[in-house]
Amino acid sequence: MQVIIFQSPLVQLNTPYPSGAYLKSFFSSQDFINFSDVNWFDLSNLLYNNIFSKEGLTKLFELTYKTALEKASLAKQNGEEQIEFNLQRYILQKDLWINWIENIKAILSNNEKFSGRELCHEFIFSPFAPRGNRMDNFLSSLEREVTIDDARFLASFALADLADYINVVFDNNFSLIRYAEHLATSQKDFSKFVKVIDSPILKNYLSPLIKNIFEKINQSVQSDEKILFCISVPFAGCFASCLHIAKEIKKFFGQRAIISIGGGYINTELRNINEEKLFDYVDLISYDRGYGSYIDLMKNNFALDGKQYYKTTYFYNNKIIRGNNIDNEEKIPNEISQIENKFTKTVFPDFSEIDFSLYPRLADDVNPMHRIWSDGSWLKAYLAHGCYWHRCAFCDTSLDYVCNYSRIETKKLYNWLYEQAEKTGIYGIHFVDEASPPKSLSEFALENSVNKNQKKPLTFWGNIRFEKTFSRDLADFLAYGGLIGVSGGIEIATGKGLKDVNKGTDFDSLVASCASFKEAGILVHAYM
């Protein structure tokens, strides 16, 4: 059996989402079943590069030329002069967009083979470089002369302008970071999703892309070999594309494919699924970390024959089979959960085969903390599974990724991530914990400090809880050890409010910790 891991589009463009990296390590490290190969494809990045390419834009303007002119004419009739102007400008400048798109991407990339820095001057000042509404707004908002240092901002807004064009004249579900997110967050009717899984972007760009991948997979497997497809759905805006991918897998591989879906959106929104039609597209749902589900399935050779599997839901004999522990009602650990907890502490993300030069470093905000999310690539990992507080009243503390707290051995994680940094050339770490434990941050900073004078050190940032533990002394030490930014929820900015929601910190401690980070030179992002 071969394992294929797909990250469904669209997620953050500048760096790969980590679920595939963790699953690749997991499947590569266990011995329950003999997998012939394990491969991970970031379809979010592949789709981005497929659309925003010379060939992709050529196809786009061929498919939308007539529609754009019709919409421009309608806008003129309705007195919407700005809309008319923008649509006509896209058509008039289509050759400029097509010829410039690879250069725009180069300005935003870190590609050793194709430097974009030398293109910045021309892109800023040339009358033959394309322009869109967002680009115009950026340039007109400058209270100084434009310089080539503004090129990355302008290139970022160029992508956003093209995304606006796609949304208006080709596929109104499209955006740069989410696809059909409004459906997944507002609709409970599964038929609404079925209507969009063959919409223009998915049909014309994602479908040919994955079919090409399927052809390559087919050449590497035996004719009767089963293939496990794991599709990650971290956000609502990934669900429609997940269904499209699953449909195409079924069409191409038939009974040879076992299709599993999991991820943040699945864990929260499909936990009590009763929609049988979903299983026309997928074979099973794996909840929470996924390790336990796959371990149980591997021990039983993926026999979906009516047996209950750990945190797994599937369809059999005209009914939905819900597995054990999905609702976290069984508090006594069983054999599978104990093995899963072991893997949680020993599986680290494998980014070694990712080409980070294909990921754009977007600069779309002058706020340095806001930019940190998209300006630069990051190796994403967690210091601990779950939240060490997990008592806030506004949080669903029954969910595994919140309540099942388990800290990772920091030294082993540091050594692993440093090896990944040397392989990929990416020395920035984004910790994706619900709230990074202060002890783990301290240990990581210490490891990085010891390494600082011997090798190139790591830079790291992540989500925390603002609390009195983060004193000025600790903040100074973390800054010396490589911490550059922290993000954390305040939720209610009053002492009584914090107490009412059982936040576990008081207002004075919250303010003091923010001040400590700020004074230590660490970026602070506090959100309500």
Through-space distance between the first and last CA atoms of the chain, rounded to whole angstroms: 47
Backbone angles phi, psi at 373, to 5 degrees: -65, -35
Q: Please check the confidence at residue 392 and state whether its pLDDT lies above 80.
A: yes
| Average pLDDT, integer, range 81-100 | 96
Q: Which residues contact 247 (CB under 8 A, 6 or more apart)?
A: 197, 281
The pLDDT confidence band at residue 180, using thresholds 50, 70 and 90, is: low
The pLDDT confidence band at residue 330, using thresholds 50, 70 and 90, is: low
- Residue 117's pLDDT is 86
Reading the block at residue 183, the tokens are 């459906």
**How would you write 398-438 as a 3-class SS string?**
CCHHHHCCEECCHHHHHHHHHHHHHHHCCCEEEECCCCCCH
115 C-beta neighbours (distance < 10 Å), count: 12
- Residue 179's pLDDT is 59
Give the integer Cα–Cα distance in Å for 69 and 85.
Answer: 11
**How would you write 25-65 as a 3-class SS string?**
HHHHHCCCCCCCEEEEEEHHHHHHHHHCCHHHHHHHHHHHH
- Residue 175's pLDDT is 86
**Residue from 217, 208, 269 nearest 238 by CA:** 269
Give the integer Cα–Cα distance in Å for 443 and 462.
Answer: 15
| Average pLDDT, integer, range 485-494 | 90
- Residue 333's pLDDT is 60
Q: Which residues contact 404 (CB under 8 A, 6 or more apart)?
A: 341, 385, 386
Give the integer Cα–Cα distance in Å for 359 and 377.
Answer: 7
Per-residue pLDDT reduced to its tens digit, 492-512: 888 898 898 999 899 899 999
Per-residue pLDDT reduced to its tens digit, 116-166: 889 999 999 999 999 999 999 999 999 899 999 999 999 999 999 999 999
Give the integer Cα–Cα distance in Å for 249 and 401.
Answer: 29
Q: Please check the confidence at residue 7 and state whether its pLDDT lies above 70.
A: yes
- Residue 453's pLDDT is 74
Give percent of the chain with pLDDT exceeding 90: 75
Q: What is the mean pLDDT of the chain?
A: 92
Per-residue pLDDT reduced to its tens digit, 287-302: 999 999 999 999 999 9
Per-residue pLDDT reduced to its tens digit, 51-60: 999 999 999 9
Give the integer Cα–Cα distance in Å for 231 and 238.
Answer: 10
**Residue from 97, 42, 271, 71 nearest 170 by CA:** 71
Which of 88-97, 123-132, 170-179, 196-205 has the lowest average pLDDT?
170-179
Q: Please check the confidence at residue 182 and state whether its pLDDT lies above 70.
A: no
Give the integer Cα–Cα distance in Å for 244 and 234.
Answer: 16
Residue 281 parent element (H or E) = none
- Residue 188's pLDDT is 61
- Residue 516's pLDDT is 97
The pLDDT confidence band at residue 464, using thresholds 50, 70 and 90, is: very high
Q: Which residues pair with 430 in a beta bridge?
A: 380, 461
Q: Which own/partner pairs from 448-455 qualify as long-range (CB within 8 Å, at least 24 positions apart)?
A: 448/414, 448/481, 448/482, 449/480, 449/481, 449/482, 451/418, 452/482, 455/418
- Residue 178's pLDDT is 62
Which of 149-163, 329-343, 374-388, 432-446 has the lowest average pLDDT?
329-343
Instruction: Please say whether the beta carbons of 518 and 475 come within 8 A.
Output: no
Give the integer Cα–Cα distance in Å for 52 and 105.
Answer: 8
Question: pTM, whole model, 2 decimals?
Answer: 0.93
DSSP label of 348: -
Q: Which own/partner pairs from 254-257 qualify as long-range (CB within 8 Å, at least 24 positions apart)?
A: 256/224, 256/225, 256/226, 256/227, 257/226, 257/227, 257/229, 257/283
Reading the block at residue 467, the tokens are 């609390």
Q: Please check the confidence at residue 378 and state whether its pLDDT lies above 90.
A: yes
Q: Which residues contact 364 (CB under 8 A, 6 or more apart)?
A: 153, 156, 157, 160, 371, 374
Q: Please check the confidence at residue 22 and state whether its pLDDT lies above 80.
A: yes
Q: Which residues pair with 88 in a beta bridge?
A: none
- The dihedral over CA atoms of 69, 75, 79, 82, expressed in degrees to the nearest 10, equals -80
